[in-house]
Structure formats: C-alpha cells, structure tokens
C-alpha cells in the first residue's frame, strides 16, 4: 500500500509523507493480521469449508439490512443456479445480525457472523471483512471459482457471472484511477487456481487512491493484460426523473441491479427503496410468489 518512492515529490518529502505513509501501512497490516486470525462467533466454519470445496462460490458481505439479503438470496438461487451462495455478516448491531441470520435460516442459506470489525469507516470495514473471508473460507476451501457481492445487488435474469473465467483470471466491474485499476469489491469474480497462494488484499490502497479491492493492484491486477480482459458492463442512472444521479442513483451491472446504498440523500432513501422494490417485485413473484414489502 505504500507508494513507490519515485511517486513522492519534494513537497511530500518535506512533510515526511513517505515515512508517515509507511507507518500507517504497517499499522493497517497489523490490524488486518490480527483480525483474520479471529474466530467467527456464529457459524460452523469447518463444515462450511467442506461444503465449499471445489464448487462455484458467491459470498455476500451483509451489513445491517435483512430486507435486501432476503431479496438477494432468493434471486441468486433462481437466476444463478449451480452456485453455492454464502452470507458473511458484517453488521454492526447484533439485533440486525439476528434478523439477517433468521432470513438465511428460513431460506436455507449458509450464514456466518464475522468477528466484530475493528474499523468503522465503511470501505475499510468492508475490505477487512473480505480479507477475513478470503483467509478463513476461500483459501482453505479451494473452490473452483469464487466471487464477492454487495448485499444490495440483485440478478434480474439468468446469468453466469463466472463465464469469462474460462479465458481470464478475474472478471468484474473495473474502476480506473489514473494508470491503475481494480475490480469493484461489490461484483468481482476469480479463478481460484490462478490466485491460490497469492497474498491477496481486498482492502484499500488509499495512498494510491484505490478503494476497497484496490489492495490487489500490486499483487494481481498490474500483472494482467488489461486490454484483453472482458469487463462487466455497468451504467448509473437516477432512480426517477428529476433526480440527479449523484443524489439517488441506481446501478446496472449487466442484468444485475445495484441499489448503491451509500450514494443517496437521506431524505430520498425510502422512496428509492420503494422503486427498487417495484423493479424486483415481478422477479420475486416468479421465484416464490412472494411479496416485496419495504420496511
């Protein structure tokens, strides 16, 4: 996560930024190392690893919203068949985690409560949660392929997000930062045999401006031939006419709908959730004749 020394200019050196960046990076790595050694408070990790071995795995990092988890697990089961879907819960509040656990139990979805997160900033919290899953589930399970999903991302048509991995090591939504790039942590797929043994880091590389997932730039992405890679097509649009995209967006990743929970004005949150509910209602009805009712 430390920038190359050649990336620092004279003003950086005057302010001792190479030293402070190195110290902050060392602290981050120490926090991560301690966290990934912690035990999950809820869930049978050994049994889950055995069930994941050699399979196609999608892992959702849940965060305090049982409603979107209920929608997602139902739609993934319907539209992404032959895939084992696992929910790893990173919720702050135990009461919300209990609701998510109840949803997973009712839907017969593997559920794991992650250790209490050392970070409160959302991107850092998400990144270290992904790192825990990588070290404690994915790496020991050795699945055929695996991917990570945001909890408010929903398939709306039959899809195989792993198709591109027949000819490349990873696939997802690409985010560009200058000459660097990384896969958005909310939709990223990997061939396990191509990344096994790598010191993957799904956290940020913030000194280089890379958000969650960008920690894999130095380990993985910079070694790939970017122009030859297939990328997931994505667009952002306002959830209704007259609203700026930056105030209340929806994101489409192919046929997957992303609510983009963190990018909405608070006063628009409920209305946008109702719009998402309306879009998903016919899909949920086709799955189980279930209702889509916002809280």
First-to-final CA distance of the chain:
40
Pairing of strands 256-258, 153-155: antiparallel
- According to DSSP, residue 48 is labeled H
Q: What is the pTM of this model?
A: 0.89
DSSP three-state, residue 230:
coil
CB 112 within 8 A of CB 90: no
User: Can you tell me whether residue 157 is helix, strand or coil?
Assistant: coil
Other beta carbons less than 10 A from residue 107's beta carbon? 17
φ, ψ of residue 93 to 5 degrees: the values are -100, 135
Q: How far is CA 111 from the centre of its chain?
A: 16
The residues spanned by each domain of the chain are 5-36, 45-232, 235-288
Structure tokens that stand for 236 in this block: 């952002």
pLDDT digits (tens, 9 = 90+) for 167-207: 999 999 999 999 999 999 999 999 999 999 999 999 988 66
What is the gyration radius of the CA atoms in the chain, in angstroms?
19
| pLDDT tens, N- to C-terminus, the chain (295 residues) | 555 656 656 565 566 565 665 566 667 788 889 999 999 999 999 999 999 999 999 999 999 999 999 999 999 999 999 999 999 999 999 999 999 999 999 999 999 999 999 988 899 999 999 999 999 999 999 999 999 999 999 999 999 999 999 999 999 999 999 999 999 999 999 999 999 999 999 998 866 788 999 999 999 999 999 999 999 999 999 999 999 998 889 999 999 999 998 778 888 999 999 999 999 999 999 887 545 544 4
Q: Which residues contact 237 (CB under 8 A, 6 or more apart)?
A: 245, 249, 250, 251, 252
192: left (phi over 0), alpha (psi -120 to 50) or beta: alpha
DSSP 128-146: HHHHHHIIIIIHHH--SEE
Architecture of the structural domain at 45-232: Alpha-Beta Complex (3.90)
């Amino acid at each position: 996560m430390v920038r190359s020394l050649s990336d620092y200019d004279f003003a950086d050196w005057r302010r001792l930024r190479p030293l402070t960046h190195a110290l902050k990076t060392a602290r981050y790595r120490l926090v991560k190392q301690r966290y990934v050694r912690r035990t999950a408070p809820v869930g049978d990790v050994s049994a889950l690893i055995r069930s994941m071995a050699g399979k196609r795995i999608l892992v959702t990092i849940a965060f305090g919203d049982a409603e979107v988890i209920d929608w997602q697990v139902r739609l993934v089961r319907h539209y992404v068949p032959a895939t084992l879907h696992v929910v790893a819960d990173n919720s702050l509040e135990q009461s919300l985690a209990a609701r998510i656990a109840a949803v997973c139990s009712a839907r017969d979805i593997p559920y794991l409560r992650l250790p209490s997160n050392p970070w409160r900033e959302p991107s850092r919290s998400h990144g270290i949660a992904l790192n825990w899953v990588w070290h404690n589930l994915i790496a020991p399970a050795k699945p055929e392929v695996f991917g990570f999903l945001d909890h408010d991302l929903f398939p709306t048509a039959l899809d195989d997000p792993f198709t591109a991995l027949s000819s490349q090591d990873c696939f997802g939504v690409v985010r560009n930062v200058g000459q660097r790039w990384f896969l958005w942590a909310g939709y990223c797929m990997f061939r396990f045999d191509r990344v096994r043994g790598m010191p993957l880091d799904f956290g940020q590389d913030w000194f280089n401006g890379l958000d969650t997932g960008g920690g894999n730039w130095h380990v993985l992405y910079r070694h790939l031939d970017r122009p030859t890679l297939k990328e997931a097509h994505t667009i952002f649009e306002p959830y209704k006419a007259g609203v700026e995209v930056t105030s209340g967006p929806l994101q489409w990743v192919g046929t997957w709908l992303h609510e983009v929970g963190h990018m909405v004005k608070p006063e628009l949150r409920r209305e946008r959730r109702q719009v998402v509910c309306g879009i998903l209602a016919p899909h949920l009805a086709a799955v189980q004749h279930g209702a889509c009712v916002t809280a």
